[in-house]
Structure 1
Amino acid sequence: MHGTDPYGGIRWRWTTPRAQDILRRRALPEILQLYREIHGLPQQELADLLGYSTSYVSRIETGSRTITDIGALRHLAERLDLPPHCLGITDDADADHQLVIQLAESVLRLAEIARQAGQATIAVTELWPLVARLEARTADGHADLDTLGLLVRARVGLGVALGHVLPEERLATAARWTGKGLNVARRLGDPGLHAHALRHHGNELRKSGLHLRALDRLGQARDTARTTTERAEAVVLLARAAGAAGHTALFDEAVEDGHRLLNEAAPTALFSAFTLHEVRLRGLMVTGRVAEAVRQLDQAPAAGLPATSQWQIIAAITAGEVLLRQGDAAGAGQQLTAAVQGATLHRLPHQLQRVVRASSSLPDVRHCAVNALEQLRAEIAA
């Protein structure tokens, strides 16, 4: 699989469903034919590459000559730049790779549980070595669909986890990782995986202040969703991004779509009556409809089981902002103080930054938020 870019160019021709089927069946005649097709080689040039005669290559391609000798198969794998397992050869590296594949699902699942439980730093710690391992294996030529799919999920998961624990000025790092996941996902022909990467990359772009790009990615995620759950999760993030961008019409459209989907999609950590209400409150504030936000504040649904610690902290900050605009400094102070405590416990610096901005008229709350933020900054720097 020649090419200096392990995630682009010629390598991607080996990740198509047809190519993966040929490699999975270890069909040497078809492998040689596909290699020539990918590289645009006549039989003579392939024969020169392999050190065989043209007639010998022709016999292999037609199936009249089979190769079973391990040494000859290793030679072919090396010359074709294919992982040995594609030709039926098992070595220590491939056995190690199979172990990585088996463990990767567990790591991804545990990292997601940790992140949703408010322990995003643990998720980062788990995902970073997995991403590095999968990238190294892919660069070595193990670009099968299972590995690439795991790489997408690991990159996206790492980006999302970093988006929790990094301060605002460093959130572009989180968006870069989710973007790297999306770059692979869009090539794999898996609509669900592509939609997953679009949703999370769009959300990290929003957090980085890249509103137009965020709306583009999240709009794609909504429009290409295959299930009500996929659409619901894309819609709530689209509403959030549209509100942040001050795009009133799109915000209202997405919120209306979200309310309709409440009757169709089962609640998830990302989409529920609780998260949609928080997104609506914040969007109403940004789009200048403070009175409506104040009226909606008392209609907040209970957090419920799907709501993560992160969402509850976000909702407390938003409620505090609305209460301040209503003139209820005491109520706002309670909400923002609770948010500071939660954001400190779960190491969420950019939520503390939100509190700092919101609490300019509440010096005691602001002082606590600034101190907690500086402590987290020092820990991150260390």
Structure 2
Amino acid sequence: MGRPDPHDGIRWHWATPRAQAILSRRRLPEILVFYRELHHLPQEELGTLLGYSTSYISRVETGSRTITDVVALRQIAERLALPPHVLGVTDDADGDHRAMVQFADSVLRLAEIARQAGKAAAAVDELWPLVARLEARAADGYTETDVLRLLARARVGLGVALGHVLPEERLATAARWTGKGTAITRRLGDRGLHAFALRHHGNELRKARMLGAALDRLTLARDLAGTPTERAEAIILLGRAAGNAGHAALFDSAVTEGRRLLDVASVTPLFSEFTHHEVQLRGLAAVGRIGEAVALLDRAPSPSLRTSAQWQIISAITAGQVLARRGDRSAAREQMTAAVKGAAMHRLPHQLQRVVRASQDLPDVREEAEEALSRLRAEIAA
């Protein structure tokens, strides 16, 4: 499962497969022995931690003494950084834990909906306090699997949302957050969750121009995918990164497989005929195959109801670039102007930066994009 990250702030003792198996049996003697083994504690020191004598701890561990008092069990759970239900206690503290888990899951879902609706800044505002709360709980030693899964998802979600609202020079911050989420999923043994984290981490690495690392993560995400839809989402991002890196063979392979997966994978905000077309168009332009890109441009599909605002803005910029290369300045200006308005409205500074770079021959569009970018920078600074 890999070594723990010393900067993670997480103590992993309750998150290992062995620990989870022990906790699932809810036997206090076994839990105490395991805790002492992990921390190299003699019975005397465990007794001091829990407020019992050495002989009492010995009898509990051998099963000759049983603790049934709810107050005592609650105290043991707190000292060992466990939710009370693990020791068979259902009370207000356990209810708080369950409510926290349900609340965190709801926040994550709502933040994802907000981001897909083009409100990434609102998603960031929702995720910051949730991440802080989960980080604090993990740092305190409460590392049960449900909390760690939530923390991993929250870290990844925060990174992706930041990747929407930060300018290019700060996108490494987004990649660091998705990387922190991936560090957890690598240890949890959940293949699907790890593939999910790798997809997003790889994409944020690509945006931060760490292309070698991006290709590595996205290739692994593709190989870990357990369903056609998971593989399709990895493939679409892998094709995009390969195009950016100028890796023509890998790009062609990803585009070909993506086209095949259109027939078997579910349509998602990330993978659809629309996003596949945009990635192919952008990649062809990136590897210098402008003739193919121009031919493909005329076969652009319409966005579906699940196509996010960001993908439509990205597509408009890519189309504008290809049209400009074709010499159709009027159509290029129309696409780029629409992209500037959309990027400004949804607060997407790095998309405005793309427009600035792509509109060298369209000074009016470039000026409009630079003005919108300056306003966003001022908002971010504030």
Deviation at 1:79, TM superposition (A): 5.2
**Aligned residue for 2:297?**
297
In the alignment, the residues of structure 1 paired with residue 77 and residue 6 of structure 2 have an alpha-carbon distance, to the nearest angstrom, of 19
Displacement of 1:168 in angstroms is: 0.5
* Residue aligning to 2:145: 145
Q: Is 2:242 aligned against 1:242?
A: yes
Query: What residue number does 1:20 align with?
Result: 20
* Structure 2 contact 84–93 (Cα < 8 Å) conserved: no
Letter in 2 for 1:148: L
Range with greater deviation from structure 2 (42-51 or 104-113): 42-51
Match of 1:203 in 2: 203
Residue 88 to residue 47, structure 1, CA distance change in 2 (3 Å): same
**1:260 partnered with 2:260:** yes
Q: Which residue is 1:339 aligned to? A: 339
Paired residue for 1:116?
116
In 1, Cα distance between the equivalents of 2:77 and 2:268?
46
Which residue type is aligned with residue 27 of structure 1?
Answer: R
Q: Following the alignment from structure 2 to structure 1, what is the Cα–Cα distance between the partners of residues 79 and 284? A: 62
Contact 1:116 1:308 in 2 (8 A): yes
Provide, for residues 189-234 of structure 1, a one-character-per-residue CA deviation record: whole Å limited to 9, x for no partner.
1111101100000000000000000001000000010000100000
Q: Deviations over 1:61-115 (max 9, x none)?
A: 2322101234543554465454555434567655433322111222111111111
Where do residues 301-380 of structure 1 align in structure 2 (5 Å cutoff)? 301-380=301-380
CA contact (8 A) 1:202 1:217 kept: yes
Deviates more, 1:47-56 or 1:262-271: 47-56
Does the CA-based 8 Å contact 1:6-1:138 persist in structure 2? Answer: no
Contact 2:8–2:180 under 8 Å retained in 1? no
Alpha-carbon contact 1:112-1:157 (below 8 Å) kept: yes
1:12 is paired with a residue whose SS is coil
CA contact (8 A) 1:83 1:141 kept: no
Q: 1:367 is aligned with what amino acid?
A: E
Paired position in structure 2 for 1:103: 103
Kept in 1: contact 2:160–2:178 (CA 8 A)? yes
Q: Structure 1 residues 301, 24: closer, same or farther in 2, change over 3 A?
A: same
Q: Is the Cα–Cα contact under 8 Å of residues 236 and 271 in structure 2 kept in the other structure?
A: yes
Conserved? CA contact 1:159–1:178, under 8 Å: yes
Match of 1:181 in 2: 181
Moved more, 25-34 or 343-352: 25-34
Are the counterparts in 1 of residues 316 and 336 from structure 2 also a CA contact under 8 Å?
A: yes
Are positions 1:172 and 2:155 aligned together?
A: no
What letter corresponds to residue 65 of structure 2 in structure 1?
Answer: R
Distance 1:94 1:4, change over 3 A: farther
How far, CA to CA, are the matches of 1:280 and 1:233 in structure 2? Answer: 14
Q: How does 1:279-290 map to 2 (within 5 A)?
A: 279-290=279-290
Preserved contact between residue 9 and residue 135 of structure 2 (Cα < 8 Å): no
Find the residue that maps to 2:282 and give its secondary structure. helix
SS in 1 for 2:314: helix
Query: Does 2:258 match 1:251?
Result: no
**Aligned ranges 1:40-55 → 2 under 5 Å:** 40-41=40-41, 43=43, 46=46, 55=55
Distance 2:78 2:165 in 1: 43
The residue type equivalent to 2:288 in the other structure is: G
Residues 75 and 151 of structure 1: CA distance in aligned 2, closer, same or farther (over 3 Å): closer
Q: Is the 8 A contact 1:233 1:271 kept in 2?
A: yes
Distance in 2 of aligned mates of 1:362 and 1:285: 18
Q: 1:6·1:141 contact (CA, 8 Å) conserved in 2? A: no
After superposition, the C-alpha distances for 1:91-150 in whole angstroms (9 at most, x for unaligned) are 765543332211122211111111111111111111111111111122222211111111
CA contact (8 A) 1:164 1:348 kept: yes
TM-score by length of 2: 0.92
The 3 A distance-change label for structure 1 pair 82 and 116 is closer
Separation of aligned partners in 2, 1:79 and 1:108: 29
Q: Summarize the Cα distance change of 1:240–1:24 in structure 2 as closer, same or farther, 3 Å threshold.
A: same
Show structure 1 runs of 5+ residues with no match. none
Q: CA deviation at 1:52?
A: 5.1
Render the CA deviation track for 1:309-344: whole Å, top value 9, x for unaligned: 100100000000001110110110000011011111
Aligned residues: 379
300-309 or 235-244: which moved more? 300-309
Once the two structures are superposed, what CA deviation does each residue of 1:152-207 show, in whole Å capped at 9, x if it has no partner? 11111111111111110111111111111111111111111101100000000000
Q: Unaligned stretches of 5+ in structure 2?
A: none
Q: 8 Å contact 1:317–1:355 — kept in the other structure?
A: yes
Q: CA deviation at 1:58?
A: 3.4
Give how far 1:60 is off: 1.6
- Aligned equivalents of 2:165, 2:211: Cα separation in 1: 21
Distance 2:358 2:151 in 1: 38
Identity %: 69
The one-letter code sitting in structure 1 at the alignment partner of 2:253 is E
More displaced stretch, 166-175 vs 93-102 = 93-102
